[in-house]
Structure 1
Amino acid sequence: MPTNSLDIRDLELNALLEITQAINNNLPEEDLYKIYRFTVLADLKVRRLALYVKDDNWECKVHFGTSSDWSKVFLPQDFWNIRSGRALTSDDGPFDDFDEVIPVLHKDRLLAVIFIGGLGKESKSVDSTFLRALTNIIIVAIENKKLARKQLQQEAYRKELEIAKKVQNFLFPKELPQTHRLKIEAVYLPHQDVGGDYYDYLTIDNDRFLVCVADVSGKGVPAALLMSNFQASLRTLIRKTQDPKEIVTELNHVITDSGNAENFITFFLGIYDFTEKTFEYVNCGHNPLYLVRPDEVIELNNGTTILGMFNPLPFLETTKIEGLDDFMFFGYTDGLTETFNKSDEQFGEERLMEFFENGVPEDINQLHTQIFKSLDQFRQDTPYRDDITMLSCLVKN
């Protein structure tokens, strides 16, 4: 074998050894590309090069030997599906600075495109097959690093979801009353593993109880933690005051501070008094909820805007409904009325109101079943887009 061929083989082996050691040392991607640049320039005697790699888009990761900044030059579509090397001509635009284009494939997938040029006497015999193989090794190694990083991120996200689900499960009341004078049923259908809906029932004293429904913006751990903080604040406040205005004002202050105006909550709070037969409520930017009496349905709209956006709140009012003996309170989140069908039509409030046309239902659990059945018939195969919560409270005083 001629001495020159032996020298070339030695250079190629040295290049391969340097790249392999760099990969084994688990160096970051930036350092691997620097070593690749040095190896190709110093060992293989390539004088001009631009290496384009396919990430989300085609990007030039390594370039040298010309006055152009190839990291700012877009790779034309003509090279996106190249499968074999060829010489470059003046028809190739700015890339005619180079002599040859070499595709780098892995399992028939195009990973990279190499432009090389300026091959002098020392480098006329650069083996494009070896250069392709060397590039393949380093890019596959970088892809494996990205895959490992993605797997770690997915595992971290999975653990985050587990934490969020546990936090959320602690928020909902473990038991709801099932007595002759008070029955409460609730159902929660999360759109994803962790949603942003919340409902609660609290006994204030022997004569009064509180029900609430809320929907926090965002998903995952941040939303679950914000709702956990919200629930803790509500339960602390209700021991200090039963004035809905004071409760809402303080809750808004808590959310504004903890959410930094990036998260907000729509919230409905209602307090029923068995002795006075009154239901006092405040609606904070939530969709209209319903109070169903034997002869009428009352929309519960009055209150204020969403919590967490303005401090102080721009307006705030409470409403007290009197003379309530037998009635049903129906609370829900907007995932119910904003369920879509194939025609991109919403289920809407009118269809929901039809369930209350006959007055106060005897079985609120059956009511929830009928509503879900109607929802499924309406949407057919169209998936739900949001969490759905229903809370029904049946009072016979």
Structure 2
Amino acid sequence: MENLIERLTLQSEAFQESFNVLSRVRNLDELAKKFFQVLRGNLLVLNAVILYRRNENSSWTILFSKSNSDYDVNALPISDSVFSISEVDHDEFKLAVTHQQIDKAFIRIILGSKLDSSPYSQFDKMVLQFYLQQLDSAYQFFIARKKEKQLIFNLNHRVLQLNSLIDTGIEVARLQEGSQLLHLALERVLALTNASKGLLVVKQGRKVIDKIFFPFRFKSNEISISKHLITTEFCFAEKKYIFYLLEKESREGLIAFDATDQLLLDAFARQVHVSLENHYLYEQSLEKERIDKEISLAGDIQKKLIPAELPKIDGYDQCGINIPTKFIGGDYYDCIRLQDGRFMLIMADVSGKGVAAGLLVSTLHASVHAYVDGKFELPGLVQKLNSIIWNSSTLDKYITAFFAVLDPASGELESVNAGHNPIYILRSNKKLEELKTGGIPLGMMNIPFPYESSKATINPGDHVLLYTDGVTEAMNAEEEEYDDIRSLKKFLVAKNSSAAKDFITNLINDVNDFTGDTPQSDDITALYLTRNTD
């Protein structure tokens, strides 16, 4: 025993040196070659064959061979144990060792004769086991270093993929919707995942409206038979976009896609989705901007229908105001000087607001001005206007309106109320009268409805107020209406003034004071006429 320990002690320096040599190898072939050199230097081995087997189902691969014969090394059986040493009945080879590694791989070492032709002793086998342990440690070190390099490579590759994903996202975002964007999207996602080919299918319902191939057209049935395939999809604007990526390429050939590839594809598809959505929103904003400009222009044109300055009427003072809720309002007022010296007063309110209401206002304005150039009877004129508005509007659109013809000299006022709210006459004695006689709103029914007119006399000191329901129905934060709380009639009686402009200003201020910060919900329009006492 002491002799054995002494001999092993003498080998310790050789053990250390051999490990230093084995731990610096760069591949398995070099490891096998260096291990043979260790055995030759310490056990005087002349020949050897070193083989490697990845697992139980794979074939043996020769890593190193120094042999003078064609001995079939694959014929040697593998032991079920992790480690085995057995004698070999062969002229050149004498000893076979099989060692299972930590990663379940096998290394087989077949040793030839020794330099002095002596048989392998028990001490030789013991020393061999020490070197095999070093081989195992060196193999583990090699595997760990290989995994470390692979990990670093994978991390660098992931960083590169992430940077490419960001750069590609920026590039895709700059493109406009269409085949250019989709072609680039498919090309870039193939580059990100190392896929050899891809297909982007665009569907609308069950119908395929587009197919984009890259880098070349291939048969669609390749998708169903491909062993290496990943896919993702998203929906936008009633269309479905489906990505198919096939056959990932690597140094080893075609391999399966991994989870990271699927994540990259999903992330990239989201970028394409966002890009399509952003482009759509951008186009929508441009369209909205264009429409807003057109509406603003239409609003400017419509404002010209409202008189910027009312005509002067001798012995009278008048003032009007129109505050629309939108660019284009649905209220209209006017005062037209007739050829016979009389004046026509108009107050109208189209149901609804916006462009459709504005078009009806324009129609009413043009029709009135066309018919008042000649002689007319007021009820007959209103009946014609009813027919015109009916033919110019949809069923849900109509106009409540008030028409009056004033003879300034006599003060006679003939009026027709076409479904409009009552028009007030405030007498000089504070008595309030309402003008309601007329008929149905314009455009409500396509029948020759007979409109009736009424007559009143505007005396010195009397006041006439024409208005739309935007005044009486103006609401505050509690959703209470102005006419229910403060009453337009009471305001007219209490705040009437010989100066028409002052009255209109005070009325609007009172309405604004009532509504506060509540947004205006309807057009506000009023026309105030007073006959001077002088």
TM-score, normalised via structure 2 length? 0.54
Whether 1:250 aligns to 2:384 is: yes
Give the deviation of 1:242 after TM superposition: 3.1
Match of 2:406 in 1: 272
- Greater shift, 341-350 or 27-36, is seen at 27-36
Q: 2:451 aligns with which of 288, 313, 316?
A: 316
Question: Residue 263 of structure 1: SS of its match in structure 2?
Answer: coil
Match of 1:27 in 2: 178
Match of 2:435 in 1: 300
1:57-68 matched pairs, under 5 angstroms: 61-62=240-241
Q: Which amino acid letter does the alignment assign opposite residue 166 of structure 1?
A: D
Q: Any conservation in 1 of the 2:175–2:181 contact (CA below 8 Å)?
A: no
Aligned partners of 1:263 and 1:312: how far apart in 2? 16
Aligned partners of 2:366 and 2:240: how far apart in 1? 51
Q: Any conservation in 2 of the 1:180–1:396 contact (CA below 8 Å)?
A: no
Give the deviation of 1:298 after TM superposition: 1.0
Whether 1:384 aligns to 2:520 is: yes
Q: Any conservation in 2 of the 1:44–1:123 contact (CA below 8 Å)?
A: no
Label 1:44 to 1:258 Cα distance change in 2 as closer, same or farther (>3 A). Answer: farther
Aligned partners of 1:154 and 1:385: how far apart in 2? 22
Aligned partners of 1:370 and 1:236: how far apart in 2? 35
Q: Which amino acid letter does the alignment assign opposite residue 240 of structure 2?
A: K
Give the deviation of 1:175 after TM superposition: 2.6
Question: Residue 142 of structure 1: SS of its match in structure 2?
Answer: helix
Label 1:46 to 1:318 Cα distance change in 2 as closer, same or farther (>3 A). Answer: farther
Aligned partners of 1:381 and 1:22: how far apart in 2? 42
Q: Any conservation in 2 of the 1:160–1:221 contact (CA below 8 Å)?
A: no
Whether 1:338 aligns to 2:489 is: no
Give the deviation of 1:160 after TM superposition: 1.6
Label 1:174 to 1:390 Cα distance change in 2 as closer, same or farther (>3 A). Answer: same
Q: Which amino acid letter does the alignment assign opposite residue 297 of structure 1?
A: L
Deviations 1:177-208 (A, max 9, x none): 34550221011112222211111001114541
Aligned partners of 1:24 and 1:381: how far apart in 2? 44
**Matched positions, count:** 329
Aligned partners of 2:227 and 2:323: how far apart in 1? 62
Q: Any conservation in 2 of the 1:305–1:313 contact (CA below 8 Å)?
A: no
Q: Any conservation in 2 of the 1:44–1:126 contact (CA below 8 Å)?
A: no
Give the deviation of 1:28 after TM superposition: 7.1
Whether 1:36 aligns to 2:171 is: no
Aligned partners of 2:227 and 2:399: how far apart in 1? 62
Deviations 1:149-195 (A, max 9, x none): 11221222222222212221220124323455022101111222221
Instruction: List runs of 5+ in structure 2 lacking aligned partners.
Output: 1-148, 155-159, 187-198, 202-210, 215-219, 245-254
Label 1:394 to 1:143 Cα distance change in 2 as closer, same or farther (>3 A). Answer: same
CA RMSD of aligned residues (A): 3.9
Whether 1:367 aligns to 2:503 is: yes
Greater radius of gyration (CA): 2
Q: Any conservation in 2 of the 1:212–1:267 contact (CA below 8 Å)?
A: yes
Question: Residue 317 of structure 1: SS of its match in structure 2?
Answer: coil
Q: Any conservation in 2 of the 1:261–1:309 contact (CA below 8 Å)?
A: yes
The structure with higher relative contact order (CA 8 Å, sep 6+) is 1
Whether 1:234 aligns to 2:362 is: no
Q: Any conservation in 2 of the 1:207–1:275 contact (CA below 8 Å)?
A: no
- Greater shift, 306-315 or 227-236, is seen at 306-315
Aligned partners of 1:240 and 1:28: how far apart in 2? 63
Match of 1:148 in 2: 282
Aligned partners of 1:162 and 1:355: how far apart in 2? 34
Deviations 1:255-292 (A, max 9, x none): 11111334211111011123443211111121112112
Question: Residue 36 of structure 1: SS of its match in structure 2?
Answer: strand
Q: Any conservation in 1 of the 2:383–2:449 contact (CA below 8 Å)?
A: no
Q: 1:348 aligns with which of 460, 483, 487?
A: 483
Label 1:21 to 1:148 Cα distance change in 2 as closer, same or farther (>3 A). Answer: closer
Whether 1:171 aligns to 2:305 is: yes
Aligned partners of 1:314 and 1:122: how far apart in 2? 82
Match of 1:106 in 2: none
Question: Residue 366 of structure 1: SS of its match in structure 2?
Answer: helix
Question: Residue 173 of structure 1: SS of its match in structure 2?
Answer: coil
Aligned partners of 1:360 and 1:207: how far apart in 2? 27
Aligned partners of 2:516 and 2:339: how far apart in 1? 45
Deviations 1:128-165 (A, max 9, x none): 23212320231122012212211221222222222212
Label 1:142 to 1:63 Cα distance change in 2 as closer, same or farther (>3 A). Answer: closer
- Greater shift, 292-301 or 177-186, is seen at 177-186
Question: Residue 472 of structure 2: SS of its match in structure 1?
Answer: coil
Q: Any conservation in 1 of the 2:395–2:444 contact (CA below 8 Å)?
A: yes
Q: Which amino acid letter does the alignment assign opposite residue 524 of structure 2?
A: I
1:74-93 matched pairs, under 5 angstroms: none
Label 1:159 to 1:134 Cα distance change in 2 as closer, same or farther (>3 A). Answer: same
Q: Any conservation in 1 of the 2:339–2:373 contact (CA below 8 Å)?
A: no
Q: Which amino acid letter does the alignment assign opposite residue 411 of structure 2?
A: K
Q: Any conservation in 2 of the 1:164–1:225 contact (CA below 8 Å)?
A: no
Whether 1:260 aligns to 2:394 is: yes
Give the deviation of 1:316 after TM superposition: 2.2
Q: Which amino acid letter does the alignment assign opposite residue 467 of structure 2?
A: Y
Label 1:388 to 1:361 Cα distance change in 2 as closer, same or farther (>3 A). Answer: same
Q: Which amino acid letter does the alignment assign opposite residue 131 of structure 1?
A: L
Q: Any conservation in 1 of the 2:302–2:362 contact (CA below 8 Å)?
A: yes
Question: Residue 185 of structure 1: SS of its match in structure 2?
Answer: strand
1:65-144 matched pairs, under 5 angstroms: 122-123=256-257, 127-144=261-278
Deviations 1:217-272 (A, max 9, x none): 34333332321121111011112333111111111111111113342111110111
